[in-house]
Chain A
Amino acid sequence: MYGPLNLSPDKLAHEAMTMQRKLAAGLTTLRNLDDVHYGATDKEAVYSDGKLVLYRFRSDKAPTAKVPLLISYALVNRPYMVDLQADRSIVKHLLELGEDIYIIDWGYPDLSDRYLDLSDYIERFLGGCVDFLRKKHGLDAINLLGICQGGAFSLCYAALHPDKIRNLITMVTPVDFHTADNMLSHWTRGMDVDAFVNALGNVPAEMMNYCYLTLKPFRLNVQKYVGMTDILDDKLALEDFLRMEKWIFDSPDQAGEAFRQFITKFYQKNGFVEGGLTIGDKPVSLKNVRMPILNVFAEQDHLVPPSASRPLRNLAGTKDYSELSFKGGHIGIYVSSRAQREVPSAIHNWLAQRSR
């Protein structure tokens, strides 16, 4: 007859002492940490509008790609996740492969931005960047890479202006917001988002973070920090950990009107799937997205489950649709070593095949 535990005082004492030694080592490690920097690749600002800044990444070698690739990240986190550090940067790898990369930094909205709506973000900001790049490069259309919420924005823009987007890449992008495994969507559907935004104005970043952390509360709030003990004697691992912590909690507030519209039109009304979606006064139909699409999603994504991304295949009007199913999660798709090996080369090869 066996029980589930095979514990002895010696084992427990040894374990306790091991953790104690890790804590002790951690004090020295923490004191010797360099200031944690993020954003590995040099970049220059080339365009701005309000709080938005468009950056072009610099590379030692000139890009071989003739068409620039514009990255549109989500509003809810900072875009440096795609270039977090030298050994975790899909931007760096794309540059090495010859791509010409631009990225939108949406900035940190304050209360003066409360009435910016989705039309402002998609037509004015994203559209302004697209038009700037078209003019700068003398092209009718550019390549667009939309990530997460930025992917939903990119789909809207591509549907409204299909002639301006040559190739579209969507990464961890929600399309069907009402799949059975989408916890975030499930929660928002009981919300009176009008009352919510009216009371809050802009939605505080801390509230957004709280919501994300409660998707996996015990793992993200308890287990993760117990696990941190394991790396307290490893300076580089600890710096990586703190860099990720910085990114997780470095979140902009959300402009109230844009938030209201995004929740209503997408999370509650599931506009891409159910139809009736408008940006400003213009109807948006994914059937108008006729350019080639590469849809990249993460198999263990708890924020945007693959089931939320996959429906793009049947909803988009394109005849050239490809998928990349990545073995990892919503964050791992940018920063894991597997991501560094697989994602940039997949994007580059897919674009290269369509540049001939």
Chain B
Amino acid sequence: MSTFDQGWSQDFEALSRQYWNAWSEMARQAGSGQQQQVPGWQEAMDMWAPWARDGRAQTDDTISRMNAQTGAWFGQMQELAKRFSGGQSNASDITSEWKKALGIEGGAFSNPFESMFQQMSGHGANGMDQWMKQAAPWMDAMRGEFGGMFNMPAFGLQREQQEHWQALGKSQMEYQKAMSGYNAQLMECGKRAFAKFEDKLAERSEPGRQLDSTRALFDLWIDAAEEAWAEVAMTPEFRTAYGDLVNAQSRMRAGVQGEVERTTGMFGMPTRTEVNSSHKKVTQLERDLRELKQRLAVLEAAANTKAPASSKAAASQPAPAARKPVAKPTKPTPAPRRAKK
């Protein structure tokens, strides 16, 4: 048995013993009103994930996504199921407890969608607010220095610079406003999801339709959440909020890039704008060259058709340079980046 096997085996056995002991104790105390702490999915995932990673991207990326998204959600659902095991329950009570499990207390409403989207951003995906987080220290420093100057008239030697900072500061505030609007839509999704969850639970309140596992309860919540999302995401209000957020971030990105270019330009470094300009020229030159070659080919073909094939004069002329097609009917250059076949 390898070190790996021994290590995992010992840990797993220890956790298994905890499981049996804790769950057995919970079963014994059922109905006593006491809540028994038992290790659940989150604990299992926390222990499992580091062992599961093997250094290969194909595995590790998936394990990271699995751990990030399922640990909290399924673990909390397991806790909820435990709370209602062995006793009477109704749809309203279960939904109420589920809200509490997700951090909703005393009428305040947290946002399960928002937290999930943040988790997505942190693991391989690149959400709209991830870049904002990365840029936050830079933006905060800027705001601290110039925060009071956003609306002041600009003049004098620093006039242009001040206007740039003012525009950037305003774009950041617009972004935050747009993000609030977007989060309000996510909150609406959350509200509808809980209402649908309660309705779906109520539909299961008859023999033969009852839920008898954490997984079944979890899947029912997923159905409710997806239905709520599909409704809200297709509203005109969501479209506006989504567009506002994307557009606000685009403006702010452009503003930050402008400031970075002005700063790096002072030190003679090439800027993104200059590189773009070169790429644009090369692309257009390529198009022009391609078009000229095509025209030339047509002219050559026409000339060859008109010229008498037996003309000695024509035969004595050097052949026009062989046309080199831009595209090649040959073995290609090495496979494109990341194209491992």
Contacts and interface: CB of A to CB of B under 8 A. Distances in A.
Given A221-B120, A226-B218, A209 B70 contact: no
A41 B115 CA distance: 42
A186 B65 CA distance: 28
Contacts of A39: 341
Nearest to B113: A217
B40 A16 contact: yes
Contacts of B66: 225, 228
Interface in B309-341: 326-333, 335-339, 341
A191 B238 CA distance: 12
Contacts of B4: 27, 31
A11 B212 contact: yes
Contact of A23 (B44, B212, B222): B44
Contact of B240 (A190, A192, A207): A190
B125 A2 contact: no
B202 to A, nearest CB: 7
B210 A192 contact: no
A35 interface: yes
Interface size class of B (residues with CB under 8 A): 35 or more
A127 B201 CA distance: 56
Contact of A210 (B89, B127, B213, B280): B127
Nearest to B217: A5
A36 interface: yes
Contact of A221 (B51, B69, B206, B215): B69
Given A4-B94, A7-B84, A132-B329, A53 B24 contact: no
B85 A4 contact: no
Nearest to A17: B19
A7 to B, nearest CB: 4
Contact of B212 (A7, A46, A223): A7
Contacts of A43: 341
Contacts of B70: 222, 225-226
Contacts of A186: 233-234, 238-239
Contacts of A4: 89-91, 94, 201-205, 210-211
Interface in A293-347: none
Interface residues of A, number: 91
A124 B284 CA distance: 13
Contacts of A116: 283
B213 to A, nearest CB: 5
A118 to B, nearest CB: 13
Contacts of A241: 62
A46 B257 contact: no
A189 interface: yes
A26 interface: yes
Given A27-B51, A195-B250, A209 B8 contact: no
A1 B290 CA distance: 79
Contacts of A16: 19, 23, 38, 40-41, 44, 78, 214
Contacts of A223: 218-219, 222
Given A189-B239, A242-B59, A9 B30 contact: yes
Contact of A191 (B48, B69, B88, B246): B246
A244 to B, nearest CB: 10
Contacts of A113: 283
B74 interface: yes
A31 B246 CA distance: 42
A301 to B, nearest CB: 14
A105 B331 contact: no
A201 interface: yes
Interface stretch (A60-68, A94-102, A245-253, A271-279): A245-253
A189 B243 contact: yes
Contacts of A108: 336-339
Contact of A213 (B125, B243, B283, B284): B125
A182 B202 CA distance: 31
A219 interface: yes
A236 interface: no
Contacts of B229: 216-218
A5 B4 CA distance: 40
A91 to B, nearest CB: 13
B251 interface: yes
Contacts of B16: 17, 20
A206 B126 contact: yes
A20 B81 contact: no
Interface string B234-245: 100011101110
The 6 closest A-B pairs by CB, nearest first: A190-B243, A13-B23, A48-B332, A206-B126, A9-B27, A49-B327
Given A5-B210, A23-B44, A47-B327, 15 more contacts: A3-B89, A4-B89, A5-B89, A12-B85, A13-B20, A16-B38, A19-B44, A30-B59, A31-B4, A36-B58, A190-B242, A218-B229, A221-B116, A225-B66, A226-B215
Interface of A: 1-13, 15-17, 19-20, 23-24, 26-28, 30-31, 33, 35-36, 39, 43, 45-49, 51, 53, 78, 105, 107-108, 110-116, 120, 124, 128, 132, 136, 180-181, 183, 186-187, 189-192, 195-196, 198-201, 204, 206-207, 209-210, 213-214, 216-219, 221-223, 225-226, 228, 241-242, 245-246, 249-250
